[in-house]
Homo-oligomer: A and B are copies of this chain.
Amino acid sequence: MSEEKKHYQRPLNFKTGKVEMNFGAGGKASAQLIADLFAKNFSNEFLDQGDDGARLPQPKGELVMATDSHVVSPIFFAGGDIGGLSIHGTVNDVAVCGATPLYISCGFILEEGFPLSDLKRIVESMAAAAKEAGVKIVTGDTKVVERGKADGIYINTCGVGVLPEGVRLSGANCRPGDVIAISGDIGDHGVAVMSQRVNLGFETGVVSDSASLNRLTEKLVAEIPSLRCMRDPTRGGLGTTLNEIAKQSSVGMVLEEDKIPVKESVEAACEFLGLDPLYVANEGKVIAICAPEEAEKMLQIMRDDPLGKNAQIIGRCIEDENHFVQMETGFGGVRMVDWLTGEQLPRIC
């Protein structure tokens, strides 16, 4: 009898099985879930060490560390799922700081009764997303809570990356005159999730933009010395993220409405749902800000990447002691783009 067979009496049933409380109790059932699902899909030289933490080589530079918990509902949506999203979200948080993401931890909180078939699909999606982004899932944890104490599955990821020497991006770096670009159409993720959630029966055809941006951001970091700051406009959308940067840098911003790329289908769905695309979450877009002399080059680098082909320069930073974000509308007027107040889209990521 093999070592495995001695310790794990019955194979997990990934067709009709459900998550049981003892999967999170730290005994044999926990060990079996790790062996049959996580270790199998996420296998790499660090995770396979099998200790309480992963031992990782000394990094060749400063670190960046970022975390996100993911509670998106529904967990499967057009263009993605909570698994891929949990990798993309954290990879992007590390990447927009200018770093190369290397290592990811994952913490699962599972609700008793959650279908093992769904868990398997989510884990496979995480493994594929990690592979595509070139990151390794090096350590993890699983907890199980009783029925009614969660909503199927929540996933926390934490990412660690390494900064190229001398890179100092920050939301506090922008200066009047700097140029603001976005890597593509806004609002896709939020609209894809909301369309599915409200179950209004209309087919928007919108799919989430959930994707890892680290290849694109690494090119910008390497080739645009005047790059001040990058941010991925997730919760709160483009509008809130630009307000955060304006406040951090003590500048104002002026946007050109007709330069902000939004799909017609997204605009139509937003109108129907009572949303403003400026505040709808994105999960595969990056805002980048640099000196005006390098703006065209920055735009070209974005457009040369498959994830940035619809990139646009959408505005510039100005002197403004109020740190307002304003938008010149198509009709020649000016609209204030305020922070998102209150709740627009709960559980969007």
A contacts, CB < 8 Å to B: 3, 7, 20-22, 24-31, 49-71, 93-94, 96-97, 99, 103, 105-109, 138-146, 148-151, 154, 156, 158-161, 163, 168-172, 231-232, 234-236, 240, 244, 247-248, 279, 281, 339-347
Contacts and interface: CB of A to CB of B under 8 A. Distances in A.
Contact of A65 (B60, B160, B163, B346): B160
Given A66-B105, A68-B141, A52 B96 contact: yes
B30 A52 contact: no
The 9 A-B residue pairs with the shortest CB-CB distance, nearest first, are A26-B235, A27-B340, A53-B66, A26-B236, A158-B158, A22-B343, A156-B156, A67-B105, A69-B107
A55 B59 contact: no
A139 B66 CA distance: 6
Contacts of A347: 143, 145-146
B67 A62 contact: no
A292 to B, nearest CB: 23
A10 to B, nearest CB: 12
A178 to B, nearest CB: 16
Contacts of A99: 53
A7 B244 CA distance: 10
Contacts of A160: 63, 65, 160
A25 B67 contact: no
A296 to B, nearest CB: 26
Question: Copy number in this complex?
Answer: 2
6 contacts: A20-B343, A25-B235, A27-B342, A30-B235, A58-B60, A154-B154
Contacts of A3: 247
Given A27-B343, A71-B143, A109-B71, A61 B58 contact: yes
B344 A25 contact: yes
B66 A52 contact: yes
B30 A69 contact: no
Contacts of A142: 69
A27 B339 contact: yes
B26 A234 contact: yes
B62 A240 contact: no
B50 A66 contact: no
Given A107-B107, A149-B150, A154-B154, 20 more contacts: A25-B344, A26-B235, A26-B281, A27-B235, A27-B342, A30-B236, A31-B339, A50-B172, A51-B170, A55-B97, A58-B61, A58-B62, A59-B59, A65-B103, A66-B105, A67-B139, A67-B140, A69-B109, A146-B346, A160-B160
A151 B244 CA distance: 31
A154 B108 CA distance: 11
